[in-house]
Amino acid sequence: MNIGFIGLGIMGTPMALHLAAAGHQLHVHTRSAVPADIAAASALVCADAAVVTENSDVIFIMVPDTPDVEAVLFGPQGVASALPAAPGGTRKTVVDMSSISPMATKTFAQRIEALGADYIDAPVSGGEVGAKAASLTIMCGGTPEAFERVRPLLEKMGKNITLVGGSGDGQTTKVANQIIVALNIAAVSEALVFASKAGADPAKVRAALMGGFASSRILEVHGERMIKRTFAPGFRIRLHQKDLNLALQSARELGVALPQTANAAQLMQACAAHGLADQDHSALVKALELLADHTVTPDQP
């Protein structure tokens, strides 16, 4: 199959490589230089998103934020300018794997479908590690027919792949995921700061909690980061800030109160204000450490 891939960053590059390894011909476009391993996979580099679309049956998008997706789709020489049909009349499918606004996604889907193509929103969870291991969780919104058409491709990039519902429901699920992750990071941060300030060994506290009802993947992975002071980014604070802002924006539009989400967003904002926006989101603990005037464990020299 001819596959288009737009956006070859930290996540997009390994995802595209899995599709190339499965034998599909890639047509790619990215704002920066095309990674060497993508070029080595015999990908055809295109001047813009329109050329990608003209030559592809399925077009994947993996870019940072809502305005970026809108520009790729509807900007000059965007995807929409090359729709509707592929050569021979085949119906094209656009799959947006970025994490963006659920409300905007519904509008984007309507506009693309009005041009005679299908649209799937398919944001992912699992980070760079999951992208490289092809073990991403993929949350999809769209029609069952379009989903089944692209499912074999999604299976090359992820393990847990779910059609949640109609257009926008994949993005809604991703926002819900990011709310849960942020609040869990905040909870683990508070618990470890409290325990350490009280004089307990935070590593032993974490080990004890891992055997009880408080056990979680966040306590396991990010609790260890907080104790070992390893904040090299797997998922940056600035990106999680963007996702929480999407949650709060959508909540305002829906008339829903998300008080704990707002609190987590403020803690991340405090981290960003102290120059930590490009550290891993587990560094949220540093905002609470500043408030307590105490670190969980001493920072490494």
Give catalytic residue positions.
174
- Give the whole-angstrom CA distance, residue 211 versus residue 242: 33
Phi, psi angles (nearest 5°) of residue 109: -60, -45
Residue with tokens 């849960």: 180
User: 25: Cβ–Cβ under 8 A, 6 or more apart, which residues?
Assistant: 1, 2, 3, 42, 44
- Give the whole-angstrom CA distance, residue 198 versus residue 290: 16
Whether residue 186 contacts residue 271, with contact meaning beta carbons closer than 8 Å, is answered with no
Nearest to 118, CA basis, from 156, 76, 153, 148: 148
- Give the whole-angstrom CA distance, residue 40 versus residue 42: 5
Residue with tokens 């120059």: 275
- Give the whole-angstrom CA distance, residue 4 versus residue 284: 36
In 3-state terms, the chain is what percent helix, strand and coil (to 5)?
A: 55, 15, 35
Phi, psi angles (nearest 5°) of residue 62: -140, 85
**Number of Cβ within a 10 Å radius of residue 3:** 24
> If you ran DSSP here, which 8-state letter would residue 283 be given?
G
